[in-house]
């Protein structure tokens, strides 16, 4: 393990991601959790960049941070109005869930232990033209499916949340 520049960057970003993830599952105030989530997602975007998936990083910032997070904030605010006072997010910390999580961690690590430490370069198809070729070419079906899924989700959201107003 060489402690050179790229390694340090990776380490820093990784640490931030881990810490903020822990914050998401542990903090007791909703808004703080939302902020933690935001930082977490940004650090993930950074890691994407580090690994050479630049388009994915950009897309992630737009969709996740800009879309999902904002949506969550809106929902929190909506929910807050019906809830009395500031929301206190509780967690029931118990050893069972912890051991499940740890066990899972061990298992997965063991399963993936063959991966080398050396960064080999950007994952294939990471330039926009190539990406377009893939999406419209070999992955066309999944692309269309994704579109369908989005449509269904949209309709679902409207039906579920837009329903009977008191």
Region 18-57 residues binding other proteins, contact defined as CB under 8 A: 18, 21-22, 24-25, 30, 33-34, 37, 40-41, 44, 47-48, 51-53, 55-56
Distance CA 41, CA 97 (A): 24
Q: How far is the CB of 20 from other proteins (least distance, A)?
A: 9
Q: Is the distance from CB of 58 to CB of 46 less than 8 angstroms? A: no
Q: Is the distance from CB of 29 to CB of 86 less than 8 angstroms? A: yes
Query: Any idea how long the chain is?
Result: 166
Comparing CB distances to other proteins, the nearer of 5 and 161 is 161
- Residue 60, judged by CB atoms within 10 A of its CB (0-12, 13-18, 19+), counts as buried
Comparing CB distances to other proteins, the nearer of 5 and 110 is 110
Q: What string marks each residue from 52 to 91 as x (binds other proteins by CB under 8 A) or -? A: xx-xx--xx--xx--xx--xx--xx-xx--xx---x-xxx
Comparing CB distances to other proteins, the nearer of 5 and 166 is 166
Comparing CB distances to other proteins, the nearer of 5 and 79 is 79
Distance CA 59, CA 28 (A): 30
Could you say whether residue 144 binds other proteins (CB under 8 A)? Answer: no
Q: How far is the CB of 88 from other proteins (least distance, A)?
A: 9
Give phi and psi for 39, each to the nearest 5: -60, -40
Distance CA 141, CA 52 (A): 25
Comparing CB distances to other proteins, the nearer of 5 and 68 is 68
Give, as ranges, the residues between 97 and 136 that touch other proteins (CB under 8 A): 97-110, 112-126, 131, 134-135
Distance CA 36, CA 17 (A): 10
Q: How far is the CB of 19 from other proteins (least distance, A)?
A: 10
């Amino acid at each position: 393990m060489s402690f050179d520049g790229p390694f340090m960057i990776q380490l820093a970003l990784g640490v931030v991601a881990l810490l903020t993830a822990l914050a998401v599952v542990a903090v007791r105030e909703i808004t703080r959790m939302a902020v933690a989530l935001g930082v977490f997602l940004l650090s993930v975007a950074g890691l994407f960049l580090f690994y050479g998936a630049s388009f994915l990083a950009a897309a992630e910032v737009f969709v996740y941070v800009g879309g999902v997070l904002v949506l969550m904030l809106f929902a929190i605010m909506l929910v807050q109005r019906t809830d009395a006072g500031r929301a206190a997010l509780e967690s029931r910390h118990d050893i069972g869930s912890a051991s499940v999580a740890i066990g899972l961690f061990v298992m997965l690590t063991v399963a993936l232990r063959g991966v080398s430490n050396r960064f080999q370069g950007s994952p294939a198809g990471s330039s926009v033209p190539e990406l377009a070729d893939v999406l419209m070419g070999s992955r066309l079906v999944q692309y269309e499916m994704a579109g369908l899924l989005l449509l269904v989700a949209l309709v679902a959201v409207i039906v579920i949340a837009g329903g009977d107003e008191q």
